[in-house]
Amino acid sequence: MAKRVVVDPVTRIEGHLRLEIVVDEQNKKVTEAVSSATMWRGIEIIVRGRDPRDAWAFTQRICGVCTTIHALASVRAVEDALDIQIPRNANYIRNIMLATLQVHDHLVHFYHLHALDWVSPVEALKADPAKTAELQKTVLKWAEPLIGLAKDYTGLKAYARRFPKATPAYYKAVQDKIRQIVESGQLGIFAPAEWWSHPDYQKLPPEAHLMAVAHYLEMLDVQRDLVISHVVFGGKNPHPHYLVGGMTCSISMDDGNAPVNAARLGLVQTSVELGLDAVNYFYLPDLIAIGLLYLKDKWFYGGGLAKERVLDFGDFPDEPYRDFSRTGDYWDKILYHSNGIVHNFKEGVDKAKYEPFNKDSLEHVAEYVQHSFFHYTEGDSKALHPWMGETIPAPEEVPPTPWKFLDPNKKYSYSKTPVYKGMTHEVGPLARYIIVYTAVKQGHVKPSFVDEMVVEQIEAVQKIIKNVLGEELQPHQFLPTTVGRTLARGLEAQLSANLNSYFLKKLYDNIKAGDTQVANTTKFDPETWGEGIKKGVGMTAAPRGALSHWVVIDGRTIKNYQAIVPTTWNVAPRIKNEHGEQRAAYEASMLDTEVKDPKQPLEILRTIHSFDPCLACATHIYNDKGEEITSFSVNSACAV
């Protein structure tokens, strides 16, 4: 017998997402899956006709969670169009801000958006605080092969800024607080209570639940101090300031009122060190403690499209680059060589097919609207390249509300469907790790120290699995899974914490050498741009995956602007073209997941949460006259 399950809205994400699945109750398998973006934004239409130097400030408001990343992609796109190369200090500062975002976003995602898919405060009440303290010491020991990869490039870190309190008294105090919350019936952040009976919460010992929930609470405090670099270099967080041509933060080691001086660099130093410790002593050990037990139980579900096709653009240019779209110098300068496509990783790294992504790849990016609430002027069957992209709402295609079930044969989502060479791809930290690992192992790139660390991290995980579980698991077995996708985010947080320290050291050295320039303003005046059409693209490795902003400038103003964001790649509705019918990553991952109880589809939420959906970023529709197009309400119930 088949059971249809609707989860609408999915909570603990940015924005509104609806999931529909059909579960075969006999074998517990998902036989059909639909993911629908049920919200809209209008940034691309808002910036049309505006000064391209202001685009970053508007596009950064696409999302309040991603904070800095859309501004970075936007200034890169405009600089690409206007042929502007930024100074060294600006490059280092932008990389520090990106690495900071990666550390903060990944850590907050795991503890405050995703952790309760794995651990339960109710189970934590059964724990022995003394045994929890011992477990804490044990998992730190397990994680040593990973912790050993942490590096302080500045050489200034003297001691741990934060370290787990592995004492019975600490865990007893936390447990008492959790009991007080649970017994009050006011679960608040630990709702919904009715899900805590799901059998998956029995996989972990109670002590693992108590340890993780304690760190959940502790990281609420720590995460605030991880974004100090955004405040120092960008003036605030969220939505720090950028500048076409560089950054706005002048540097002076003598002026106590300068935006960047010795005292404020000291604050950045402390924040960078805290990020290293939060990732290495909390985040990674907790991931290991939870993930190993799920892998031991053969929980290899949720890989979906990651097994078939992944894509990314790469990032962290070591030195200032010239452009993306003319010489492609960006890809010659980056340290994180995740700029590529990998097909068929499920067969093993030796059999996977690797393809680089560079300036010659730009023409192959496009978006479909076959099953999206949009139309294209020339018809909806073909895809449009983003420089020719259109955002034309189709409100007449939106089903009347309230929605009972969506029809996947019709239009059913506010997200478009991005493709590369006509095919859907999964993007995200997991995609980046698959790409770099494949590229290095197959000898396609001369690996940087960043690429080498990715391989070392994956091999360290293999070693930990062997040491703790006594099993030999290959990367193609454990990476393209829900566990692997969650693990990849933690590994990338460690990578970014190291990069934070690396680029801070480069900034120190450059300032010591007498260079305090933070902006190239030679082309800031529109009179220097010349006439005619100019096209640019800005790409970056956003926390959720491959992000690209595409701009067309006509004279002094923006003629067209399109943002293809990571969640659009992953949440997209299905398409059909010369390659057959294709699903995007969310739908493919749900088909790859077992559901024990359709009334509590925890496995589905866990898999979708592993992507960290950001629907505010993914959707496009807007009426440029400010008129309501259509409206509907969603409730928080899981309907069966």
Q: Global pTM?
A: 0.95
Instruction: Determine the average pLDDT of the residues in 470-475.
Output: 96
String of b and e for 132-158 (b: at least 16 CB within 10 Å)?
bbebbebbbebbebbbebbbbbbeebe
> Position of tokens 């520090």?
96
Residue 623 has pLDDT above 50, yes or no: no
Residue 625, domain member (yes or no) = yes
- Structure confidence by residue, pLDDT tens digits, 552-564: 999 999 999 999 9
Average pLDDT, the chain: 93
Q: Supply 566's token pair.
A: 């990571």
Domain membership flag for residue 104: yes
User: For residue 208, is it within any domain?
Assistant: no
Close Cβ partners of 61 (under 8 Å, ≥ 6 residues apart): 43, 70, 239
Q: Which residues contact 449 (CB under 8 A, 6 or more apart)?
A: 335
DSSP H or E segment with residue 30: strand 29-37
Q: What is the pLDDT of residue 193?
A: 57
CATH code where residue 598 lies: 1.10.645.10
Instruction: Report d(CA 580, CA 582) in Å as an integer.
Output: 6
Q: Does any domain span residue 152?
A: no
Question: Which domain, by its residues, includes 8?
Answer: 2-116+222-639
Q: State residue 465's pLDDT score.
A: 97
217: in domain: no
- Region of residue 532 (phi > 0: left; psi between -120 and 50: alpha; otherwise: beta): left
pLDDT at residue 2 greater than cutoff 90: no
pLDDT interval class at 191 (50, 70, 90): low
What is the band of 632 on the pLDDT scale with cuts at 50, 70, 90?
A: very low
CA atoms within 13 A on the CB side of 394: 22
In angstroms, the Cα distances linking 167 to 130, 137, 176, 486 are: 7, 10, 14, 28
- For the chain, what is the domain count? 1
Cα gap 212→286, rounded to integer Å: 7
Could you check whether the bond before residue 543 is cis, i.e. omega within 30 degrees of 0?
Answer: no
The verdict on residue 166 lying in a domain is no
Q: What is the pLDDT of residues 72-118, one digit of tens each?
A: 999 999 999 999 999 999 999 999 999 999 999 999 999 999 999 99
As a whole number, mean pLDDT of residues 39-57 equals 90
Indicate whether 168 belongs to any domain: no
In a domain, residue 122? The reply is no
